[in-house]
Amino acid sequence: MILIFAVLILLLFLYSFAEKKMLVTKEYILSSNKLGAKGKDRAIVVLADLHNNTFGKNNSRLIKKIDQISPDYILIAGDLITKRQPCSKSHGFSLLQDLLKKYSIYYGYGNHEQYFQMDFRDGTDQHEEASQLYRDWMEYKRALESMGVKFLDNESVTLPEDNLKITGLTIDRDFFSRGRVQEFPKNYINSLVGDSDSKRYQILLAHNPVYFHEYCSWGADLTLSGHVHGGLVRLPLIGGLISPQVRLFPKYSEGSFTKEGKTMVVSRGLGSHSCMIRIFNPPELVIIRLNRED
């Protein structure tokens, strides 16, 4: 029995390794009377939790899928890179280099981007490896900005032609801590990014989906999240098994959720990091199609 159990565990890990190179797409169609001209559909590709994963040489399979969609915008919902790993020559960097030749890209932070941005932002860390990682992050960011990526670190951009406003929310890393879910202080989101835009279709890039209620209360028409990696292992009729904050059966592990006329879409993510497994949970490329509704 011990041998059989060991073989089954080995097979699951081998399957998990193979599954990480699978790639599926999931499409959501949303409508709003706030959007621009009627009849002009907008396609958005959401990249979340790539963690430097690759799909084919130089991410050729991923790029091919994105080209088939031909999106109006690419929105990053965090964790394109992985903490403690150099990012200026990463697979995530080269992917954006290729995509920037064709698409507009807006980059919201995940907790892994925040690892570089917050822990070493003053450049005074005495540990040489940490200081080098910070310098590498700054090189990564400057290079992508020079090529046209718009980083939204508690910042917003308005796209008047489509009557869209895109806001990237960077919350404190304490809100990603393992264990209990910490509550946002009153008006916390407003203190970081200001008020939402009620006259435009307000998109919020908010990596951690746990705070969906707070995102709705702030005024996000559409929140795009990731972080939970689909719950790592997905079980029939149950869904995701565990969150990165080590909470069983997370409520928001993947899919679309609605509350008071507002929507959150949670990506299962495109990769993994450290020793995280994926079982019955293939990497996912999310597509959002927005239509005007009168």
Q: What is the pLDDT of residues 89-99, one digit of tens each?
A: 899 999 999 99
Span 283-289, average pLDDT: 97
Indicate whether 9 belongs to any domain: no
Q: How far apart are the first and last CA of the chain?
A: 63
CA distances (Å), origin 38, targets 28, 72, 89, 143:
18, 16, 42, 37
pLDDT at 40: 76
| Number of helices followed by number of strands (H, E) in the chain | 7, 14
- 190-199, 216-225, 234-243, 255-264: lowest mean pLDDT where? 234-243
CA distance 163 to 150: 18
Q: Which two tokens stand for residue 244?
A: 């990165």
Say whether pLDDT at 215 is over 90.
yes
CA distance 194 to 95: 32
Say whether pLDDT at 159 is over 70.
yes
pLDDT at 95: 97
Indicate whether 4 belongs to any domain: no
Indicate whether 11 belongs to any domain: no
CA distance 77 to 200: 20
Read off the CATH number of the domain in which 40 is found.
Answer: 3.60.21.10
Per the structure, the complete domain to which residue 234 belongs is given by: 22-292
Indicate whether 8 belongs to any domain: no
> Where does the pLDDT of residue 67 fall: very low under 50, low under 70, confident under 90, or very high at 90 and above?
very high
CA dihedral for 198, 212, 237, 269, sign (positive or negative)? positive
> Where does the pLDDT of residue 243 fall: very low under 50, low under 70, confident under 90, or very high at 90 and above?
confident
pLDDT at 242: 86
Indicate whether 69 belongs to any domain: yes
Indicate whether 17 belongs to any domain: no
Indicate whether 161 belongs to any domain: yes
Say whether pLDDT at 128 is over 90.
no
128-147 and 91-99 helices cross at what angle (nearest 10)?
Answer: 10
Indicate whether 181 belongs to any domain: yes
CA distances (Å), origin 174, targets 53, 111, 123, 249:
26, 10, 21, 21
Count of domains observed in the chain: 1
Q: Which two tokens stand for residue 128?
A: 């040489």
- 34-38, 54-58, 92-96, 229-233: lowest mean pLDDT where? 34-38
- pLDDT, tens digit (0-9, with 9 covering 90-100), for 75-126: 999 999 998 888 988 999 999 999 999 999 999 999 999 888 765 555 444 5
- The DSSP code for 25 is E
CA distances (Å), origin 107, targets 43, 47, 145, 254:
16, 9, 10, 20
Q: CA angle 26-275-116, nearest 5°?
A: 80
